[in-house]
Amino acid sequence: MKRLATLTMAAALVTAAGVADAKTLKFQQSSNAGDWAHTYMNNAAPLLETMTGGSLKIEALPTKSVVPHRETIDAVANGILDGDFNAIAYFSGRDPAFAIMGDLIAGYDTPEQYQDYCMHGGGKEMLQKIYDTLMPNKIKVIGCGPYGKEAFVAKVPLYGVADLKGLKLRSPEGLAADVFRRAGASPSSIPFSEVYTSLEKGIVEAADASVYINNHASGFHKIAKYPLYPGIHSMANLQTIMNKRVWDGLSAQDQAAFETWAYATWQRKLRDATLEGLDQVAKDKANPDITVIDWSVEERKKFREIAVEAWNAMAAKSPLAQEALDSNLAYMKKIGLLD
């Protein structure tokens, strides 16, 4: 009995130590509290705790809850945040390479292709090189990828490239803004959290916002009755990064668990956003108050030609940007997207 009591006490001490050593990782996202994307990541959080036996927890914070959306990488580098799930294009002002990696507008046909490039085709390594060059020994890139092909919300019908001329629209900074500008539109850089009010007040007439189901959850369908689906342009590439010192302080088991959790969560998020989006599209097509528009192959080709010009112009702005474009193009050729 004495030995059993000793073993029980030892087990209790181990459990208590494990709980005491549990680390809660604070990650800021690009989405608002209550958005589909924000809710999804919070629902996925308990799995990480299970996978690590309670040693790691994650708190997925809404955009701008700790720092402005363009400053998360500084907060991660300085240890204010442990990491972020943020749109890479937000950092285009730091180096054009972020614009290339953030969204190769009209490049990949499917989000699966883009995610495969990021996770298996050299994308996360390229992103790591950008951070190692600009912020040495501060950032660990866990992965990157889109979670869907973005839709496009509009208060006016847009049936082709010609309809973009003079259009006031919300666009992320960087490559997306340049493509729309070349197409004749007037893009404004507005954070996702301000898209609804900007549409409502008439500051913009349309928005390069998010995937269809996230747009719907944000209520855009109430004021923008002419959504484009599938999207004409983009798949925003989101990163999963961590403070390097925090990453290095994790055990090898927890590092492996976190990488596995992050990648599996992103794959499920992509799948669910697609399926839920298709369900919502079907409902909206049956709604007489909403007109879902799908651009023709010819109009998409015109838009892609404009985008390719913008790719090359952006890549010429810095050696890192050119390397980032070359990395994307090499993978696209490998999978048959380019000759």
The HSE-up count of residue 306 (CA atoms within 13 Å, CB side) is: 23
Phi, psi of 139 (to 5 degrees): -125, 135
On the CB side of 21, CA atoms within 13 Å amount to 13
Separation between Cα atoms, residue 186 and residue 188, nearest integer Å? 7
pTM value?
0.81
Neighbour-count burial of 170, counting CB atoms closer than 10 A to its CB (0-12 exposed, 13-18 middle, 19+ buried)? buried
At 245-260, the pLDDT tens digits run 999 999 999 999 999 9
CA 106/CA 244 separation, integer angstroms: 33
b/e for 272-285, b at 16 or more Cβ within 10 A?
A: ebbebbeebbeebe
Task: Give the lowest-confidence range in 18-27, 72-81, 191-200, 254-263.
Answer: 18-27
Name which of 217, 222, 83 is nearest 139 in CA terms. 83
Q: Average pLDDT for residues 311-318, to the nearest whole number?
A: 96
From 170, 320, 302, 294, select the one nearest 229 (Cα to Cα).
294
Q: Does domain 153-233+289-317 have CATH number 3.40.190.10?
A: yes
CA 257 to chain centre: 21
pLDDT of 21 above 50: yes
pLDDT of 283: 96
pLDDT for res 175:
86
Amino acid identity at 326: D
Parts of the chain belonging to CATH 3.40.190.170: 23-148+235-276
pLDDT tier, 87 (very low <50, low <70, confident <90, very high otherwise) = very high
- Predicted confidence at residue 15, as pLDDT, reads 38
Residue 68: cis peptide before it, omega within 30 degrees of 0: no
The reported pLDDT for the residue numbered 1 is: 42
**Per the structure block, which two tokens stand in for 111?**
């989000």
Contacts for 13-19 with beta carbons within 8 Å, 24 or more apart? Answer: 18/53, 18/54, 18/55, 19/54
The answer regarding whether domain 23-148+235-276 maps to CATH 3.40.190.170 reads yes
Mean pLDDT of all residues in 119-148: 96
Q: Is the pLDDT of residue 204 over 60?
A: yes
What would the mean pLDDT of 86-90 be, rounded to a whole number?
Answer: 93
Grade residue 233 by pLDDT with cuts at 50, 70 and 90.
low
Q: Which of 14-28, 49-63, 173-187 is the least confident region?
A: 14-28
Instruction: Report how far residue 254's alpha carbon sits from residue 52's, in angstroms, rounded to the nearest whole number.
Output: 6
The token pair that represents 318 in the structure block: 């810095």
pLDDT tops 90 at residue 132: yes
Query: Could you give the CA distance from residue 277 to residue 285 in angstroms, rounded to a whole number?
Result: 12
Residues of the chain with CATH 3.40.190.10: 153-233+289-317
Q: What number is the average pLDDT over the span 12-33?
A: 69
How many CB atoms are located within 10 Å of the residue 332 CB?
Answer: 19
Residue 126 confidence (pLDDT) above 90: yes
Banded model confidence at residue 11, pLDDT cuts 50, 70, 90: very low
Residue linked to tokens 């070359």: 326
Higher pLDDT, 184 or 191: 184
